[in-house]
Structure 1
Amino acid sequence: MKIKIYGIRDEERPIAEAWAKKHSVEISLTEQPLTKDTVEEAKGFDGVSNSQIFPLDKEVYPLLKLFGIKQIAQRSAGYDMYDLELASANNIIISNVPSYSPESIAEYTVMVAMTLVRQFEGIRQHVSEQNFAWVPSIRGRVLGDMTIAVIGVGRIGKIVAKIFKGFGCRVVGYEIDPDNRIPDIVDYRNSVEEAVKDADIVTLHMYPSDFNYHQFNAEMFAQFKKGAILMNMARGVLVDTADLLDALDSGQLSAAGIDTYEAEGPYVPKNCQGKAIEDQLFKRLLDHEKVIYTPHTAFYTDEAVKNLVEGGLNAAKEVIESGTTSNRVN
């Protein structure tokens, strides 16, 4: 069995190599992404493991079919970078790793929220300037006095809700799947608008879809409690970034914790030191004093990296051996 692994990072190599040795699978690793220019490297392999961060070239699907490859195993929970209809038309199974470390993202969400609530960035800035005065601009609030709206109470959202509840917060939420609900912890609302209207912090934990693209826009922000905080550790396309920045500038929102930007592909995860940021909207986000931006690192723990690499390879192997996988998304 031979699997081609695209988009491998140095830290992932020993994990992939150990997995391959354990399962007696031959692997070939490349740092290059899967594109129409690199797909030829997959010729002669039985499967593909990938870490795609931008839309996959449409030319790739029929070429993989021509090479006899029946799947692409994505090493992430998100899979919106794939054209599922085109993949299915070419008999290509797309799989993901739906649960690799929900605790990592949940804990990160609460950490950034507390940083915003306690004005920690402002405090650190004052200290760097040797300003040790107590002034209202760095005065925080008590987290346990707040209402938290969790939008999407799935694997990650459940843990987020439990952690906030542990601080004494009132937790409300919106969840379309009744099976995900935890009524002993979350007070559910019938719509997103109802969930956000009285919340001090709104935290997003949804997969992207045609129905929620830019769902959090000017119209939605107008429904928020004035001075609320937005947390997005899910997917960038859920939020209209320009409208978010306007809401922060107007004071409708007091702060935002953003781990995923809707057009991050050219920049994340790359070292852009010394390079100009050409995306002016992204630059506004980076420079905004009310925003804590992090480069899609909410997931980034030892456990998550290991589980993502092994999860993708397990799915690839499963398709090669059985023709399908429980993690297929199309």
Structure 2
Amino acid sequence: MQVTVFSAKPYDRHFLDRGAASGLSLRYTEAHLSLETAGLADGSGAVCAFVNDDLSAPVLARLDALGVRLVALRCAGFNNVDLAAAREYGLTVARVPAYSPHAVAEHTMAIILGLNRKIHRAYNRVREGNFALDGLLGFDLHGKTVGVVGTGKIGEVLARILAGFGCRLLGFDPTPNPACEALGMVYGSLEDVFSQSDILSLNCPLTPETRHMIRQDTLPLLKPGVMLINTGRGGVIDTRAVIDGLKSGRIGALGLDVYEEEADLFFEDLSSQVLRDDVFARLLTFPNVLITGHQAFFTHEALDNIAETTLGNIVAFRDTGAATHSVSVERLAAHG
């Protein structure tokens, strides 16, 4: 079975090349999947896509016309897929539901620690011979209230880490996690979590209900000076509103591993180019903002698990006509 792998980086090839042992023929391209590039999948029975690939209805229609029957996502989120259109065209969509919650949770904690203790600023100062401490003041995490929005596998691991620091845990999730409750997490309304949290971590998927959860009319609900962390999906926050929150001081610090318009930025080396995204460029001007380029998942263990599950989905579909971890419109409703 031939598979066209879109948005393929060298590390993707390294971990996916074992597919040859499963009788799969993997054809790699660094191009993002879009209506313009979908033709690269000609002759393939499956495409393998990533978080910023376009899987809207027009693209799915094009893939269907080319004879593609499987869309194998090498990620957990599927907000970039028009599942209704996939069902209309008879396309199976599969994903990697859990690759390493530890990877994302640990990176979330790294951002919290780095942002609080200004590690990124201190690193640059010391390299320049500046050992002054002014502007590097942080706070003890012990005793602080941390709100975790989304307490699935990643949120649970993050809660365990935070509990180890002695934090008070608040949670919001349509389905409370008993493991988090056992750690002392208290579940409440979104308004309660927003208003009481010294640190607010967004670890939820992007759904119609969570899109722009942080926006102009919810900013006043946040505790003044809150540290806001988003390692979920970029669209969970309205970036322009967050910039206003930073300017007003309502948001005291911001840590991001995702960005709602990241498709034109992340995973690429743009160091020799002028950034054309004025909103993102504005974020970079704040000293109390720490951004990483969607790297929370990027550990050896996670990439190994992603490759294993993705290849397993493709092989299962080839052999049985059904992927192990398929996604449907009905599951989308449950995912929210």
Please give the root-mean-square deviation of Cα atoms over the aligned residues, in Å: 1.9
Which residue matches 1:17? 17
Contact 1:147 1:172 in 2 (8 A): yes
Q: 1:104 is paired with a residue of what secondary structure? A: helix
Query: Which moved further from structure 2: 99-108 or 121-130?
Result: 121-130
Deviation at 1:314, TM superposition (A): 1.6
Which residue matches 1:37? 36
Aligned residue runs from structure 1 range 74-93, under 5 A: 74-93=73-92
Cα distance in 1, alignment partners of residues 150 and 322 from structure 2: 28
Deviation at 1:163, TM superposition (A): 0.2
Aligned residue runs from structure 1 range 107-118, under 5 A: 107-118=106-117
Change over 3 Å in CA distance of 1:193–1:186 after alignment to 2: farther
Residue-by-residue CA offset, 1:28-59 (whole Å, 9 max, x unaligned): 22222223333333233322222250433533
Aligned equivalent of 1:171, options 169, 172, 180:
169
Cα distance in 1, alignment partners of residues 43 and 128 from structure 2: 60
Aligned residue runs from structure 1 range 194-209, under 5 A: 194-209=192-207
* TM-score after normalising by structure 1: 0.93
Change over 3 Å in CA distance of 1:188–1:319 after alignment to 2: farther
Code of the aligned partner of 2:272? G
Code of the aligned partner of 1:60? V
Aligned residues: 328
Contact 1:175 1:181 in 2 (8 A): no
Query: Which moved further from structure 2: 103-112 or 67-76?
Result: 67-76
Change over 3 Å in CA distance of 1:272–1:224 after alignment to 2: same
Which residue matches 2:313? 315
Change over 3 Å in CA distance of 1:282–1:164 after alignment to 2: same
Change over 3 Å in CA distance of 1:245–1:37 after alignment to 2: closer
Cα distance in 1, alignment partners of residues 4 and 150 from structure 2: 34
Q: 1:218 is paired with a residue of what secondary structure? A: coil
Cα distance in 2, alignment partners of residues 52 and 91 from structure 1: 22
Cα distance in 2, alignment partners of residues 68 and 156 from structure 1: 36
Deviation at 1:2, TM superposition (A): 2.5
Gaps of 5+ in 2: 329-336
Aligned residue runs from structure 1 range 193-232, under 5 A: 193-232=191-230
Deviation at 1:276, TM superposition (A): 1.0
Query: Which moved further from structure 2: 48-57 or 102-111?
Result: 48-57
Which residue matches 1:189? 187
Are 1:56 and 2:84 counterparts?
no
Change over 3 Å in CA distance of 1:132–1:87 after alignment to 2: same
Query: Which moved further from structure 2: 247-256 or 151-160?
Result: 247-256
Aligned equivalent of 1:300, options 269, 283, 298:
298
Residue-by-residue CA offset, 1:279-325 (whole Å, 9 max, x unaligned): 11010112221100111111111122222233222212222222222
Contact 2:33 2:54 in 1 (8 A): no
Deviation at 1:258, TM superposition (A): 0.7
Aligned residue runs from structure 1 range 90-169, under 5 A: 90-135=89-134, 137-169=135-167
Cα distance in 1, alignment partners of residues 48 and 124 from structure 2: 43
Which residue matches 2:323? 325
Cα distance in 1, alignment partners of residues 216 and 34 from structure 2: 35
Cα distance in 1, alignment partners of residues 57 and 308 from structure 2: 27
Deviation at 1:181, TM superposition (A): 5.4
Q: 1:314 is paired with a residue of what secondary structure? A: helix
Q: 2:142 is paired with a residue of what secondary structure? A: helix
Cα distance in 2, alignment partners of residues 295 and 270 from structure 1: 9
Change over 3 Å in CA distance of 1:278–1:187 after alignment to 2: same
Code of the aligned partner of 1:89? E
Cα distance in 2, alignment partners of residues 127 and 49 from structure 1: 43
Contact 1:48 1:316 in 2 (8 A): no
Contact 2:33 2:55 in 1 (8 A): yes
Gaps of 5+ in 1: none
Identity of aligned residues (%): 29
Contact 1:49 1:313 in 2 (8 A): no
Code of the aligned partner of 2:226? A
Cα distance in 2, alignment partners of residues 107 and 242 from structure 1: 27
Contact 2:51 2:77 in 1 (8 A): no
Cα distance in 1, alignment partners of residues 128 and 17 from structure 2: 48
Contact 1:34 1:52 in 2 (8 A): no
Residue-by-residue CA offset, 1:54-77 (whole Å, 9 max, x unaligned): 433533322332343321001111
Q: 1:65 is paired with a residue of what secondary structure? A: helix
Cα distance in 2, alignment partners of residues 51 and 212 from structure 1: 21
Change over 3 Å in CA distance of 1:228–1:57 after alignment to 2: closer
Code of the aligned partner of 2:89? N
Change over 3 Å in CA distance of 1:179–1:147 after alignment to 2: closer
Query: Which moved further from structure 2: 301-310 or 126-135?
Result: 126-135
Deviation at 1:93, TM superposition (A): 1.5
Aligned residue runs from structure 1 range 236-275, under 5 A: 236-275=234-273
Residue-by-residue CA offset, 1:156-194 (whole Å, 9 max, x unaligned): 000000000011111111111245652111433331111
Q: Which runs of 4+ in 1 moved over 6 A?
A: none
Contact 1:285 1:291 in 2 (8 A): yes
